[in-house]
Structure 1
């Protein structure tokens, strides 16, 4: 990359991160993807940002290792975000208030074009006959 292109990408990454920080208080998760996009651009264009990021990952591995995994090429970002959302829900909400697992299950049923089967009543349960042996 040329020096001008690297400088342009660094400035673009910093601007995107600043915009992301500004719009973070708005309702919805609009700031986080913008901040991540700015971070990705910065990490690709600047060596000192890579070094700083790796230092931070070593200091705070529980917080930044999932982010680092999402930044790898070929990462399954949606799956990782889903797992992080489930973990957060498990830590924050009591069991009867958790809704992401049920949402995923219902969505899978809708996409399969099925309805969830109702639980059978005790009166309608099929019981096999007793086999008599002589």
Structure 2
């Protein structure tokens, strides 16, 4: 074997090592992504089970699980965007909770007002809306 043949053999072996390292890295990344998606789905299921129970633990778990799944699954992200286009009123609060600095109290208040409007059809019966207006008037009088 000549010196040139040895150089070619070394170059080929280093290419094979790099290729093997690349394949291993890609395989581990896919495995980690699949495990994170499974973890996100488990958290979503736990949140769905805990949502009807008292003590608002379910909704934050749902949002956390959804964030994990959406960050690691392209198909889930595509479906979420499709849902967002079809049902913007349903998805918008979830998107507000998934921001870097979520507006938790504002989203909770908005959902309370929406649920009150859904269950109490007559505007005269809506306690939260009237209470909010009363508090605003009281604060304006107090600061003026």
What TM-score bracket applies, with the shorter chain setting the length? 0.5 to 0.7
Question: Do structure 1's residue 45 and structure 2's residue 58 form an aligned pair?
Answer: no
2:127 match: 98
Tell me how far 1:100 sits from its aligned partner. Answer: 7.3
Question: Do structure 1's residue 15 and structure 2's residue 42 form an aligned pair?
Answer: yes
Tell me how far 1:30 sits from its aligned partner. Answer: 2.7
Asked whether the equivalents of residues 116 and 126 of structure 2 are also in contact (C-alpha less than 8 Å), the reply is no
Tell me how far 1:43 sits from its aligned partner. Answer: 1.0
Structure 1, 9-18 or 21-30: larger mean CA deviation = 21-30
Q: Which has the higher helix share?
A: 2
1:89 match: 116
Matched residue count: 110
Larger of the two Rg values belongs to structure: 2
Q: CA 1:98/1:43 → structure 2, altered by over 3 Å: closer, same or farther? A: same
Name the TM-score, length of structure 2 as normaliser.
0.59
For residues 65-101 of structure 1, the C-alpha deviation after alignment (integer angstroms, 9 at most, x for no partner) is 2222322333323222222222322443353561476
Asked whether the equivalents of residues 70 and 76 of structure 1 are also in contact (C-alpha less than 8 Å), the reply is yes
1:27 partner SS: coil
Which aligned segments of 4 or more residues in structure 1 are displaced greater than 6 angstroms? none
Name the TM-score, length of structure 1 as normaliser.
0.62
2:107 match: 80
Asked whether the equivalents of residues 86 and 100 of structure 1 are also in contact (C-alpha less than 8 Å), the reply is yes
Structure 2 portions without partners, runs of 5+: 1-27
Structure 1 portions without partners, runs of 5+: 110-116, 118-134
Tell me how far 1:50 sits from its aligned partner. Answer: 0.5
Q: CA 1:17/1:101 → structure 2, altered by over 3 Å: closer, same or farther? A: farther
Tell me how far 1:14 sits from its aligned partner. Answer: 0.6
Q: Once superposed, what is the RMSD of the aligned Cα atoms?
A: 3.1
